[in-house]
Structure 1
Amino acid sequence: MTSLTTKKRAKWIASLLLLFTGAGAWSYWQEKKVGEGMTAAAVKYLASLDEKQRKTSQLDYADTKQRVGWHFIPKDHRKGLQIRHMNEKQRAAAKALAQSCLSQIGYDKARQIMQLESLLDALEENSRFARDPLRYYFTVFGDPQPDSRWGLSIEGHHLSLNFVVDKNEVISSTPTFYATNPATVMDTYPGDHGVKKGTRVLDKEERLAFELVNSLTAEQRKVAIIADKAPREIRGAGSMQPPQDKAVGLRIGDMTEAQQQLAQQLGGAYLENMPESVRQKRIAALEAAGPEEIRFAWAGATKPGVGHYYRFQGPTLLVEFVNTQPDAAGNPANHVHAVWRDMRGDFALPVKP
């Protein structure tokens, strides 16, 4: 068992930067560049809308209830303008806005999650909710200008992306929620519906977690595994702020170096969804708080096909992953929910003590 010494801690952070950002330390100017791109894309998106659409898609930043009202469940109504109700020019502007706030990997995951709605529509019979890859909503909060504070929500079934930009700097990028049903696109499904058989949109988030938990010794498992049965859902789904329960599980600092590397790679599966500078900013926060204090907890089965859950929790982050529900065809544990939250406060709103 190895604890993170100062030297190892520096090496751990350096590995994070190399594995997940491909660059050096986070830069204020890099962060400004992402924020500038988002602001410019938001201005172009809003300019493409007619007056009625703009009233639907642009809300007051001070409307906190709407701004923090996030969720990933299927709903009859959501804030914002639905892609289905945009023309081609407007859809192109919305796409550019989404691309401005995500990495290519993060954007591709979001696009695949949307496309899975077509498959769900084919698999489900008499669903209460419409399954439509264009049933996703864009909302801009406030007036996106270089000297203003404004927010962005991109949301629909199994996707919720939330950002706050202040004076062209991204100051909040959480909650970041991705989910997939099915988690694995089975060969037995009819047709392809734009999704290839064998597709696993959140593959690394699950595969690397199994590698990590199954690398633990019997003594480590006693600390890391907090329950024999996985919970049905992530905690605090739809809540304004992440749950503030004390972190449980195995400390990163009490893992072997090989296990720490697996933990880094697993964390990277979440970090890689964001633009480089946002990733670097998250890593800088981890470094300042002490990565060795992050805890890894597991519940449920340690093999695929049976319900399982894990989380990473530290002073600045909460990552939760759950796969307990069957897919629309009845295959067990083939429906993933995964989220990254900021323990200091989502939506650029500090957690109240």
Structure 2
Amino acid sequence: MKKTYLILTGLPMLFLVTLLLTSCSDEDSTTSNTTYETTDDDIAEDGDSFTLDCSTSDAEQSANTEIETMRQAVVDFRNSLSNTLLEEVSVCLDDERFYLWHNTPANNDNRDGITYGDLSDDQLVAFKDILQLFLSAGGYQKVYEITELSEGWLHDVQSTVWDPDFYSIDMFGDPETSGSWGFQLDGHHCAINFLVHGDNVSIVPAFLGGEPAADTWNGIEFDIFSDERDLALNLYNSLDTSELASASSTSSSHSLEVGPADMNGDPDPYIGTYDYSGFATGLKYSDMSAAAQANLILVMQEYVYNLTDNFADVWWTDIIENIDDTYFVWINDSGTSPTATSQFYYRIYNPYLWAEFNTEGSTGANANTIADYNHVHTITRIPNNPSTDNGGDYGIFAYLINQEGPKTLLEHYALADHHKSSKFKFDYQLAAKAKITTHTHDGHTHSHEG
């Protein structure tokens, strides 16, 4: 049996907004027809071929071999889907579904797209292989422990509410013909946005959690956030009295400040226009001792290097060039000394990295079986601070939807000398920040001039 799938990409779209975005080349966005063919006997005969008709401004396909491997894996995965699943999973780059991820349990079909449970064994393996192309070994291990081990543990508690099969997939744009595309993994304790635009790859926003965060399921032990927890405790214990006084918050609440939406159907509340400048509080990196600075760097890298190394290195360059503008805040329950088995919260704010960690407390059916410290939420973002023009979650995809929002990560990639990958121009200029910094990670060193 052979099925044919037709995907149509649209003409360029001119955005008449405060930030005028125009293409340098007509090759960036074209109308094209792509035919997907498969001979997979497992695919059912389910009607006419599916057509996705979009009109967005796309980048050229990357010549980067690592991105090409990612792209081909996604194309092959799409080719394996039936018409019905392909139609359910596919939307254009400017679709609001990118922003509708949330933290409620994934039962009762409260996600868009397709689910793990919709896929055959081979298709599910192929999708997990794609995840491993985007994520580092450590990043993928966390996703595996969240979506399969911790969620499997919860499934044994209440199978109609929690299930690894409930995790959903949305796919954005057409990787067959375009260099701008992405996909989203969304479920109870894992929501990651995988985005490709030309030579640029990102995975933010990324919400990762676990209840339990550490336990045993099916004979397999897991401790999802051991590094985020233990490295942060090392940092806390390296602070002197004055540093602790600056870092410590007296807030009685330590919920995530910029976490996921609370309800199904609510968009991400912190898209694009959200101003992070009010979070420039706490202990500043430049006021830390050398030992504390080194420990803070290790905590920050734990979040950044969930992304595969080569692209995390690019992200880290931006972070380290703004390292002096990094702030650290800690909230400790009841004024006690924090330990691996106590509740605490911390956040890190840098123009190119927002990271939060919180012990949420046990909830609902687990209130009497899981210790409060063993329910953890984390969030990783790239702040979009209007006062600095830096960063931004969702990159070009945020631009397409938030047409009146502030500058996005795309503009940084177009203008920064150390990227030089975008072919887009803008109708204003930004002043470069001259600075040379050196970063060492996993035994290799980088020096960059900003």
User: TM-score by structure 1 length?
Assistant: 0.82
Amino acid at match of 1:179: G
1:232 to 2:241 alignment: no
- Aligned equivalents of 2:177 and 2:200: distance in 1? 12
Q: Which of 355, 358, 367 is the aligned partner of 1:319?
A: 355
Among residues 71, 86, 109, which one is paired with 2:102 in the alignment? 71
Q: Is 2:241 the partner of 1:211?
A: no
What CA distance in whole angstroms lies between the structure 2 residues aligned with 1:255 and 1:109?
A: 30
Q: Which moved more, 1:169-178 or 1:202-211?
A: 169-178
In the alignment, the residues of structure 1 paired with residue 370 and residue 123 of structure 2 have an alpha-carbon distance, to the nearest angstrom, of: 38
| Cα distance in structure 1, aligned partners of 2:65 and 2:250 | 44
Q: Does residue 1:255 correspond to 2:288, yes or no?
A: yes
> What is the identity, as a one-letter code, of the residue corresponding to 1:297?
V
For residue 168 of structure 2, what is the amino acid of its counterpart?
Answer: Y
Q: Percent identity among equivalent residues?
A: 26
Residues 200, 108 of structure 1: alpha-carbon distance in 2 compared, 3 angstrom cutoff: same
Of 128, 140, 143, the match for 2:174: 143
Equivalent residue for 1:153? Answer: 184
Matched, 1:119 2:166: no
Structure 1 counterpart of 2:346: 310
Partner residue in 2 for 1:43: 75
- Equivalence map 1:83-232=2 (5 Å): 83-115=116-148, 116-122=150-156, 124=157, 130-145=161-176, 147-167=178-198, 169-185=199-215, 192-196=217-221, 199-227=222-250, 229-232=252-255
Task: Kindly state the Cα deviation for residue 320 of structure 1 after the two structures are TM-superposed.
Answer: 0.7
* Aligned mates of 2:323, 2:248 — CA distance in 1: 20
SS in 2 for 1:35: helix
2:264 is aligned to none
**1:335 maps to which residue?**
375
Alpha-carbon distance, 1:92 to partner: 2.1
Q: Take 1:227 and 1:83, find their aligned partners in 2: how far apart are those partners?
A: 42
In the alignment, the residues of structure 2 paired with residue 251 and residue 210 of structure 1 have an alpha-carbon distance, to the nearest angstrom, of 18
In structure 2, how many angstroms separate the alpha carbons of the residues matched to 1:334 and 1:247? 29
Q: Which runs of 5+ in 2 are unaligned?
A: 1-61, 262-267, 384-390, 400-404, 408-450
CA distance in 1, matches of 2:170, 2:394: 14
Cα deviation, residue 166, structure 1: 1.9
Residue 284 of structure 1 corresponds to which residue in structure 2? 317
Which amino acid in the other structure matches residue 66 of structure 2? V
Please provide the CA RMSD for this pair: 2.3
2:393 to 324, 346, 350: 346
* Contact kept in structure 2, 1:83 and 1:134, CA below 8 Å: yes
Q: CA distance change for structure 1 residues 84 and 283 in 2, over 3 Å: closer, same or farther?
A: same
Shift of the 233–225 alpha-carbon distance from structure 1 to 2, 3 Å rule, reads same
Q: Would the aligned equivalents of 1:31 and 1:170 in 2 still touch at CA under 8 Å? A: no
Contact 2:207 2:260 in 1 (8 A): no
Higher helix share: 1
Higher relative contact order by CA 8 Å / sep ≥ 6: 1 or 2?
A: 1
Is residue 230–residue 308 contact of structure 1 (8 Å, CA) maintained in 2? no
Q: Which residue of 1 aligns with 2:55?
A: none
- The alpha-carbon deviation at position 121 of structure 1 amounts to 2.3
Tell me by how many angstroms 1:236 deviates.
4.0
1:194 Cα deviation (Å)? 4.9
